[in-house]
């Protein structure tokens, strides 16, 4: 077993996740593809193999137990984080990967096809301009700097009863206080991500009932 495989196996166990047989191999195949493309396209600043497992795969998988809903959209997904790990971990969910960058969506299209991720779709869109035919039960991102911007730009994608899910480091008390009218925090979930030092939080935001 490789060092990456061992770190992933141990991390998944610590997170308490039950993954279908073969899922960890597919997650590592995604990382290998990301590393291959990264040599040319600079899709992620993280290049060390152990950090790729902890800061990309395990960081993404840590949110899975706290999400509710079978339709997920990952806004500003970049190279597919957290969307691709979520899609691989939960094949019964439909995950849409949205980014406006051509090189990143080209990589995503290659990854989804090569890894046969049947429950994932790729869209090259500017989120604030995108008007899909259906809304989503989970709107997630770890790319937005401010919660208010995330809500303002992506709130229209939220299905009734759904949640916006923002992946953060420190508990963003000041950002929460700046949420636009019509939205409120449902809960803030502290996350313990194996191999990642420092605090990690998942902020779940709901639309207030008019």
**Res. 45 pLDDT band, cuts 50 70 90:** low
Mean pLDDT of 96-102: 96
Q: Report the candidate in 143, 139, 165 with the shortest Cα–Cα distance to residue 154.
A: 139
**Domains of the chain, residue spans:** 3-207
Whether 46 shows a pLDDT value over 70: the answer reads: no
Predicted confidence at residue 47, as pLDDT, reads 65
Least confident residue range of 34-43, 53-62, 120-129: 34-43
Predicted confidence at residue 6, as pLDDT, reads 93
Model pLDDT for residues 181-208, shown as the tens digit of each residue = 999 999 999 999 999 998 999 999 999 9
The CATH code that applies to domain 3-207 is 3.40.50.150
Whether 52 shows a pLDDT value over 90: the answer reads: no
Q: Report the candidate in 157, 132, 167, 86 with the shortest Cα–Cα distance to residue 183.
A: 157
Measured distance CA(10)–CA(3) in Å, rounded: 11
Q: At CA 132, angle to CA 128 and CA 133, rounded to 5? A: 150
Model pLDDT for residues 6-16, shown as the tens digit of each residue = 999 999 999 99
**Structure tokens that stand for 207 in this block:** 């639309």
Model pLDDT for residues 106-164, shown as the tens digit of each residue = 999 999 999 999 999 999 999 999 999 999 999 999 978 899 999 999 999 999 999 99
Least confident residue range of 3-7, 66-70, 141-145: 141-145
| Beta carbons within 10 angstroms of residue 128's beta carbon | 12
Measured distance CA(38)–CA(15) in Å, rounded: 27
12 SS3 class = helix
What strands lie across the sheet with 94-99, from one edge to the other? 120-124, 94-99, 71-75, 136-141, 158-168, 200-207, 183-191
Predicted confidence at residue 169, as pLDDT, reads 94
Q: Report the candidate in 165, 135, 141 with the shortest Cα–Cα distance to residue 67.
A: 165
**Res. 49 pLDDT band, cuts 50 70 90:** low
Looking at every residue in the chain, the average pLDDT score rounds to: 93
Whether 40 shows a pLDDT value over 80: the answer reads: no
Whether 173 shows a pLDDT value over 70: the answer reads: yes
């Amino acid at each position: 077993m490789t060092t990456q495989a061992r770190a992933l196996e141990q991390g998944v166990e610590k997170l308490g996740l039950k993954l279908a047989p073969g899922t960890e191999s597919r997650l590592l195949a995604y990382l290998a593809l990301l590393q291959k493309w990264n040599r040319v396209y600079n899709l992620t600043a993280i290049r060390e193999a152990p950090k790729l497992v902890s800061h990309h795969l395990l960081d993404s998988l840590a949110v899975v137990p706290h999400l509710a809903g079978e339709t997920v959209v990952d806004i500003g997904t970049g190279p597919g984080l957290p969307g691709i790990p979520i899609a691989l971990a939960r094949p019964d969910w439909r995950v849409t990967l949205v980014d406006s960058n051509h090189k990143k969506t080209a990589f995503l299209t290659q990854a989804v096809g090569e890894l046969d991720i049947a429950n994932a779709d790729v869209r090259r869109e500017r989120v604030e301009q995108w008007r899909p035919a259906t809304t989503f039960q989970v709107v997630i991102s770890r790319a937005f700097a401010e919660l208010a911007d995330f809500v303002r730009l992506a709130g229209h994608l939220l299905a009734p009863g759904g949640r916006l899910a923002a992946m953060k480091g420190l508990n963003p008390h000041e950002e929460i206080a700046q949420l636009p009218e019509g939205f409120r925090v449902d809960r803030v979930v502290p996350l313990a991500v194996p191999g990642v030092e420092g605090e990690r939080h998942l902020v779940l935001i709901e639309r207030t009932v008019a």
